Each structure stands twice: as structure tokens, then as C-alpha cells.
Structure 1
Amino acid sequence: MKERSPEMADFGEILRAAGDYGRFQKRLLAGLLLPTMILPMHFYSVMFTHAGSAHHCNTDWILRASPNLSTQEQLNLTLPRDQDGSFKSCEMFTPVDWDIESIREYGINLTTRCSDGWVYDTSVYKSSIVSDFDLVCEKANFVGMAQSVFMGGILLGSFIFGPLAESFGRKRAVQIPVVLMLIASVGSALSPNFYVYLATQFIVGTSYGGYRVNYIILATEWIGVAQRTYPSALCAMLGGVGQTALAGVAYFIRDWRSVQYVIASPWALFILYIWIIPESARWLLDRGKTEEAEKLILMVAAVNKKQIPDNIMEKVVNNKKGENRGTVKDLITSPLLRKYFFTVLFAWFSLNVGYYSITLNVGKFGMDIFLTQLIFGLTEIPAQIVCAWLMEALGRKITVASVLLLGGFISLLLLAVPQDSAITITALATAGRLFMNMGGTTFSVYVQELFPTYIRQTANGIAAMVTRVAGMLSPVLNMLAVYHSAIPVLVYSGLAVASGSFCFLLPETRRKELPDSTEDLEESRVMQMKRSNPVDDAHLSERATKL
């Protein structure tokens, strides 16, 4: 078990002296949160152009027999029909060397697969990866591959950049993804073929996961207990703004390559200032880099126009630890950390399965896909304001348990609604998705407060990896609807209800200092037990030790 550092236990006092929510913190938040408006736009291809458009075989061969055929007559003579009367999208009549009168009189009976490419309906999208790379018919499953590769990149980013933040600092783990995101986004727009597109989207996903898992840690470790809900709530609100903008971008720009350039351009701005983002002083102290931490704290105090007492600075100067290294083993061997860790993993996995299952089905609710996406984005903003208020008014535990339970029960109502009730289905899906997202917002704060500094980013990184696994499994879960439409809803709703119930096992962390050691958590546990069950201190200490 990691030994407690008295100096680090007083970091909250140092931060209050330097200003725990002054001009410095507001500038830091602005710099770190602006990119979160753009992150939702990277789901553009997954949610819009991956869906493709109507298509049929290219049958221009018949124009050699009669160049003046109307489009409708050309289709009637060259394409077979399905049972519902529509033209088949992956078959055509076998080309023949006849004159047009013979074709009209006798018709063609033999069919074949498309041999000269496809013609795509451009009424919705001028171009998409489906039309540019011909991801139809035998290659139709490649679209699902692209979604999985993107989600896999997010998973890898969480896996790589979580531990990177523990070893090399929060700042580096934020800066590198920004650079990669700009390069890969431009690369996606320039992709000459599907395989290059897959590679660039994988890097985009890796950058996405790396940035998301680290920026919130860096922001939280510089902010005091009273304002700690702000970073996560503001991020979710700006994400709602980004989703709203995504609907506009997708509606007005129907060429997928142009959209990729639009998405990439803000990253060119972020890359100009991301290098001046400061490191976490808490992380520097935990690594024994006292001189750097002292300079940063003095800088923060100057920006916030605060004067730090000498006795406070002595606590920084005297901190020469530097041997603290947290591993996954620490999360497993400590009974208290283990309980928190697996409860968080289960809940965060469950809410993300529901969130992505609903989000990736945006085009299947019966309403216009652009309008549905606009509704998704606009409703996020007030929902996150309510979520921030609930976290402060009710606490983290009650909030996350409540929103998961509500999200699960509301999603179950989708099974009771007729499939042709587009407005009702969209309303229920939006509400269920909102509650899932509110749960994610709460956990972004909660996970920082549940785990000590030396293991915080490791725990957060692993939790983020689990959420990305949930994102990768969501398209697979949605595919199970071919067996029965209720299966996906039952699975993600049931998981949300079950995990919401387990969240009542977690402690309340509202307005408490971030723990720097396992002993801090145990002391906090003892204090909570005293308030809820007043028995003698010796008995409480014995119970806490066993826990």
C-alpha cells in the first residue's frame, strides 16, 4: 500500500492560497475545453455518410444500342426488380449485343452482378465514403469495419495515453493527440482509397481517445473542490454545441471530403496554443519535481493576483518524494479501491453501450436524420446544466445512480411504442440518450474524486478503455436486431438499470479534497461511517482497515 505523503495531503491548502478558481483556471478551462466542441464532429462519417445512399448497377452499356433512352426506360430494360417492385441494387440483366428493338420486344432474362460499377443517388449526399470507395453489395460490410476501426482507435488512445499521462505528465498526453488529430483529419480528406481512409480514421480515433482521457484530469487537478463539477459539465455542454454544429455541417456540406477539411481546420488553431498549457502541479509534486511545481504555483498565484504565505511554500519545497508509481495491481489489491474500481467500470461500460447504441441508430428513428441530430445536440445543453446542478445539490452518488436508472427505464419504453411512431420514438431515444450522457458527465468528475493522485490517471485510463470497448460493441449489439428488434434495447436498458443500482455502493465525494493516498480514502470512509453510524472510534478504524 502506498505510504501517505503529509505534504501532498495539503495540496488543497496550497491551491486555495494560489487561487483555486481564478483567472488562471478559467483560461486553462477555455484552452482545454474548446477542442471538445470539435470532437463530436469526428463521428460525422460514422453517423452520416457511412449510411450511404440508394444505388444500382451502372447499365450504360445499353446506350450503345440507343443513346437517346430516357433514364427510366434504361432502368426498366436493364435492371431486375425485387418483390416490392423496387430495382435490385446489386444485380442487372446480363449485357447483350442486340439492337434496342429486340431488347424491348424480347427482354433479357439472365442476370449478373454489377460489372461496370454503380450509380448513386446524390439527392442526400453529393459524395460519401460509400460512393467514393464503392462500399456496397459484396463490400457493404466494410462500412461496419470502418466504424469498428474508428472505435478501436479510440480504445487504443485510451490505452496508450492514460499510462503516458502517469509517466510523462498530463500536459504531454494532451498535446500529442492534438497534433495527431490535425494530421490524421487532413489525411482522411485526402484518402485515395478505403484502406488509407481506415488508417487515418484509426489515428483520428486514437487521438480522440487520448485527448478525452487526459484533458479532464489536467483541468480537475488545478481546480478547487467547490468548482470541480465545472470541467466535466462544461465539456458536455460544449459537446452539445458541437453536435448541433455537426447537424448544420452535415446538412449544408454534402461532400464528405469537404467536411473532413472543415473538421480539421479548428485543430490548426488549437495546435498554436496547446504548447503553453501548463503541467499539473499536483502530478509534479507526486513525481518529486518540486522546483517545477513551485514555479507553477507561484505563476498561478500571480495570474490570480494572490499572495502565497511562506509556510505554504515550504510544504512545496520540502516535498522530495518522487517514488510514487501507481499500477493496476494497486487497484486490485486494495479492497476499497477494488470495490470502487469495478463498480465504476461496470457503470461506465453500461451507460456507453446505451449511449452509442442509440447514437449510431440516429438514422433509423423514422425522422429526418439531420433534424434528429439537431435535436440530440440542442437538448444536450440544458441537460448538462441540470446535471451540474444535480451533482452539487444531490451529490455524485445519487445523481449517477438516478440518471442510469431513469435512462434504462425510459429506453425500455421504446419496446412499447409502435415502430411507425417516429416522433415518440425519437423523444424516448433522445431522453434515454440524455440520461446516459448525464451519467458519463457525472463519472468524469466522480472518477477523479474516488481514486488517489498516484493511481488516478491509471484508473481513469482503464475506465476510458472500457467505455471504448462499449463503443465498439454497440454496432454489434445493434446488428442483433435482425434476430429480434427488442434485443438491443433489452440489453442496454438492462445494463443501465443494473449498474445504476450498484452505484449506491459508492461513497459520496462532493466538495471533498482530491485524495492523494489510499489512507486518505480510508479516513474519508471512517468519517462517513461516523456520520451515518455513530459507534466507537476504535471499532470504526478496525472496520475501515478490513474494508
Structure 2
Amino acid sequence: MADFGKILQSVGEFGLFQKVLLLALCVPNIILPFHFASVVFVQTDPQRHCNTNWILGADPNLTTEEQLNLTLPREEDGSFSRCLMFVPVDWDIEAIRTYGLNKTTVCDNGWVYKNTLYEATIVTDFDLVCGRSNLVQVAQTVLMAGVLFGSLLFGPFAEFGRKRAIQIPGVLIFMFTAVTGLSHDFNLYLVSQFLVGIGYGGFRMNAIIMTEWIGVSKRSWGACVSQIFFAIGLCLMAGVIYFVRDWRLAQLIASAPLGVMAIYIRYTPESARWLLDRGRVKEAREVLKKAAAINKGIVPEKGGTLTIFKSPVLTKYLFAIILAFSLNLTYYCLSFNVGNLGLDIFLTQLIFGATELPAHLLCIWLLEALGRRVCLITTLLAGGLACLLIIAVGQKAIFVTLFATLGRIFSNMAGSICSVYVQELVPTSLQSASGLGNIASRAGGLLSPVVNMLAVYHWFVPIAVYSSFMFVSGLLGLLLPETRRRELPDS
């Protein structure tokens, strides 16, 4: 199978399949901010006083003002203490009024809250005030520790499957969001928040990893859209808390859509890239077929060298293009023989090097102006002719160098054309064709010293050999079709 990027181009880089998947993974981000509600929307120092209902046993008809005056000490500014009360006594009400209470203690029976911004927060439900006020920061720390641990845990876990790495955190979030809302013990609340954090960290991390399904041209959408949905969730959370004002109810409201998410997340597709990486090609193909059906795309067929030779047409094309790569034989024969052309070796090498850049630039224009087929045939034949002219001029250094330079220029141009041509002659799924072409070109370079050794028989023998290959390759180019401005074949 072709590399995954090219597969996605055929299946669809950002079609309906990817859009639905992205939406499914991003919608939970609207709810995820609600997990911060209980530690963000708190009134850390609400108006309060100790619960002193014990005195109502002595006189149930006491007014609230009388009860507070008799049971609470006052601060320097005259207000009732928010963290202390008088020690309860077993006296009748008249004795309390006559002698008064002087010994103070902490609020053993909890607090009474009034004029609070919210109906209920973790501060008021768990009495996180006075000596326990620092536990609000503890709750925040525990949640964030869970997020960190979830990222560390489910990051490597994604190597065992992207789908599982989303499903398990999703279930954790749903279950312990509900447990958090039902917690009536602060320690249970901390444990459930830690587990919610684990799920949160794992889901957020791996939901972005699932953007492996999105092609490189739209890859940024995965992360950016996810953040957009999270931002929407932050705004929605503020609105919900504004109207609800009860942290427990907010958690239970959040758990309902998370329950739906925990169900449908089971049906999210596994990452085809991960399946291919694990060698599970059959499963990857099935998933890709579904994606292609939704996107109205196609799945490239798996292919290789043997697949090429099963097709007479591809075999013909490949044979012609591989033999054309023999131009490397000419290129390196001339290059390795630079010191024997008659002129100064440094000057000759400078000429060889200086002519390559304009040759490649000219080739770019000619490919679009004349087409691949004409350019390939012309450069190969012209290169072969230039090399044969070396024989015709004998051993006159200036002319030998001139025609050798022309032979290198044309072989260079033919090499550029072959590199483009081989990509356009065979399907993108059969990239082994490019590999065979490169092997042929490397083989030409490898054989060039051997061909040059034929000069022991006569100096023009090597020239006759590599120029002949250029001519034959040029004539075989007549078998090739023109591919200029045509779509690349898919199969």
C-alpha cells in the first residue's frame, strides 16, 4: 500500500468522513470545561457563622439575633466571629443570659452560610473555610495532577490503539463526573476528581492524535477546531453556573451528554495510520474503504514490483524508462574521464559544473512547453549524437571537450525528465517503479568505470558503448505516452 499521505489523497484528505469524526471528537470539548467548575466557581470566604443550634435546646423560641449574641464572640470591628463560637454548656437559658459565655472553641458543628453568591459550592458543602480553606487549593491541585497523570498514562497507551486510548478516558470522565456530583465526603470528591482528571488528560491528548485521519493540508483544523469547541464550552459553563448556582447539579448536567459520548465513542474508527504501522493491513483497508465510501473517494490498491510486471503496458513503460536511466552510464563515463579530454582538468570540471544549472532550468521550461515524450527522446538522441561526434573529431581537445560537455548537458536534462516521467507513467500506489528506476541509474554509475576500462582495446570503444545506449533509449521513448498536464494514474 502506498504511504498514508498518498492514500489519504485518494480517500479524501478532509471529506465528510473526517468532518464527522472531527465533530464527534470535538463536541465533548464543550462539556469538558465543566470539570473545572467545582474548583473555579467557588466563594472562598462566604459570609458565615458557626452553627450554634445547641442553644435552642435551652430555649427554642430564641430569635436569630438573640441566639447569635449569646453564642458567638465578636471581632474587633464588632461583627460576629466567622471561625469561633462559645463552648456549649448545659445551663438553662436564664443562667446563660445572666453569666454569659466566655470560653471559645472552633466551629465543631459546622457553619451557617448566608448571602452567598451560589446555592452550593464545595466550600459550603464540605466546609472548606477557616482552618480548612487551603483545601480548595488541594482540590485544584488534585484535579490538575489527574490531568497530568492521564496525559502521561494515555500518551504511551495510544501505541496500543488510538481508539482505546479515547474510549477508556471517555468512560472514566463519564463515570466519575457523576460520582463527583454525588460525593458527600471530601475525600471521595478528591478521588473522583483525580480520576476525572486522568480521563480528561487522556481524552484531550488522544482526540488530537486522531487527526491522523486528516490530510496534511487540513491538519491544523484538528487542533484548532478542538480548541474552538473548548472555548465554547468555557462560555457555556459560565452561563450554566450563572443559572444553576449549584456545583453538584452542574456536574450531573455535564454527566448526561458525557454518557452519550461514552456510548457513541465506541463506534469511532481506529486510526488507519496506526493499523498500517502495526502491519494490520487488512483492518486498515476495511476502515479506509468505509472512509472512501463516505468521501466518495477510492482506496489505492496495494502494489509492488510483481504487480508492475503483471501488466504488459506497465512492463513496457518500465523497461523503456529503466533503459533511459542508462544515461547515467554516459554521464559518469564522461565525468570520470574528465582528465583525459585534452584541456586543463580544472577548466574542464568548471565547464562541466557551470553547465548543469542552466540545463536543469531549461529542462523545466521545455517539459511544460514541449511535453515529456518529445523532450526525453530529443535529449537522449542528441546526447548520443554529441558523444559519437567525439569519435568524429578525433582527439582535438577543444572539440572533444565541447561535445563531451554537450553530452553531459543532454544526459543531465534526460535525467531530470526521467525523474518526472517515471512518477507519471505508473500509478502512485506502485512507487517501487521509482525505486527500480533509481536502481537502474545507480547501476549505470557503477558500470561506468568498467566501460571506461574498454579503452584498453581502443580509445573510442567506451564512447561507442555508452552513446549506443543513449540512442537505443531514445528510440524506446517512442513507446511511451505523453503525460504532460494529465492527472496521475490511480490504479
| TM-score, length basis structure 1 | 0.52
Q: State the distance in 1 between where 2:261 and 2:189 align.
A: 23
CA contact (8 A) 2:34 2:250 kept: no
SS in 2 for 1:149: helix
CA 134–240 in structure 1, closer or farther in 2 if over 3 Å, else same: same
How far the C-alpha of 1:103 sits from its partner, in A, is 4.3
Say whether residues 1:180 and 2:161 are aligned partners.
Answer: no
Counterpart for residue 314 of structure 1: 303
Q: Decide which of 76, 95, 106 is 2:88's aligned counterpart.
A: 95
SS in 2 for 1:228: helix
CA contact (8 A) 2:49 2:112 kept: yes
How far the C-alpha of 1:126 sits from its partner, in A, is 2.4
Deviation string 1:331-354 (CA, Å, 9 cap, x unpaired) is xxxxxxxxxxxxxxxxxxxxxxxx
Which runs of 5 or more residues in structure 1 are unaligned?
1-6, 319-547
Q: State the distance in 1 between where 2:115 and 2:164 align.
A: 43
Percent identity between matched residues is 52
Q: State the distance in 1 between where 2:110 and 2:184 align.
A: 17
CA 97–172 in structure 1, closer or farther in 2 if over 3 Å, else same: closer
How far the C-alpha of 1:141 sits from its partner, in A, is 2.6
Q: Decide which of 276, 286, 300 is 1:285's aligned counterpart.
A: 276
Q: Decide which of 4, 11, 16 is 2:4's aligned counterpart.
A: 11
- Which runs of at least 4 in structure 1 moved beyond 6 Å after TM superposition? none
How far the C-alpha of 1:102 sits from its partner, in A, is 5.3
CA contact (8 A) 2:178 2:255 kept: yes
Say whether residues 1:22 and 2:11 are aligned partners.
Answer: no
How far the C-alpha of 1:110 sits from its partner, in A, is 2.3
Q: State the distance in 2 between where 1:147 and 1:41 align.
A: 13
Q: Which amino acid aligns with 1:298?
A: K
Between 256-265 and 92-101, the greater mean CA deviation after superposition: 92-101
SS in 2 for 1:56: strand
How far the C-alpha of 1:217 sits from its partner, in A, is 0.8
Counterpart for residue 116 of structure 1: 109
Q: State the distance in 2 between where 1:122 and 1:187 align.
A: 28
SS in 1 for 2:233: helix
1:67-82 correspondence runs (5 A): 67-82=60-75
Counterpart for residue 182 of structure 2: 190
CA 121–189 in structure 1, closer or farther in 2 if over 3 Å, else same: same
Q: State the distance in 1 between where 2:83 and 2:51 align.
A: 10
Counterpart for residue 295 of structure 1: 286
Say whether residues 1:224 and 2:212 are aligned partners.
Answer: no
Q: State the distance in 1 between where 2:54 and 2:297 align.
A: 79
CA contact (8 A) 2:150 2:200 kept: yes
Counterpart for residue 248 of structure 2: 257
Deviation string 1:168-209 (CA, Å, 9 cap, x unpaired) is 111110011111111111212222312221211111111001
Say whether residues 1:51 and 2:47 are aligned partners.
Answer: no
Counterpart for residue 265 of structure 2: 274
Deviation string 1:233-290 (CA, Å, 9 cap, x unpaired) is 2112211221111112212223322222101000111122111111111111222222
Counterpart for residue 236 of structure 1: 227
CA 123–50 in structure 1, closer or farther in 2 if over 3 Å, else same: closer
CA 195–122 in structure 1, closer or farther in 2 if over 3 Å, else same: farther
With a CA cutoff of 8 Å and minimum separation of 6, indicate the structure with the bigger relative contact order: 1
How far the C-alpha of 1:163 sits from its partner, in A, is 0.4
Deviation string 1:124-182 (CA, Å, 9 cap, x unpaired) is 2322333333333333332222221111111111111000101x111110011111111
Q: State the distance in 2 between where 1:19 and 1:192 align.
A: 51
Q: Which amino acid aligns with 1:110?
A: K
Counterpart for residue 140 of structure 1: 133
| TM-score, length basis structure 2 | 0.58
CA contact (8 A) 2:43 2:117 kept: no
CA 309–134 in structure 1, closer or farther in 2 if over 3 Å, else same: closer
CA 72–122 in structure 1, closer or farther in 2 if over 3 Å, else same: same
Q: State the distance in 2 between where 1:134 and 1:181 align.
A: 26
How far the C-alpha of 1:226 sits from its partner, in A, is 2.2
Deviation string 1:383-410 (CA, Å, 9 cap, x unpaired) is xxxxxxxxxxxxxxxxxxxxxxxxxxxx
SS in 1 for 2:213: coil
Q: State the distance in 1 between where 2:299 and 2:108 align.
A: 76
Q: State the distance in 1 between where 2:150 and 2:295 align.
A: 34
Larger Rg over CA atoms: 2
Q: State the distance in 2 between where 1:255 and 1:40 align.
A: 16
Counterpart for residue 163 of structure 2: 171
CA contact (8 A) 2:154 2:165 kept: yes
CA contact (8 A) 2:44 2:133 kept: no
SS in 2 for 1:125: coil
Counterpart for residue 467 of structure 1: none
Q: Decide which of 21, 40, 47 is 2:33's aligned counterpart.
A: 40
SS in 2 for 1:112: strand
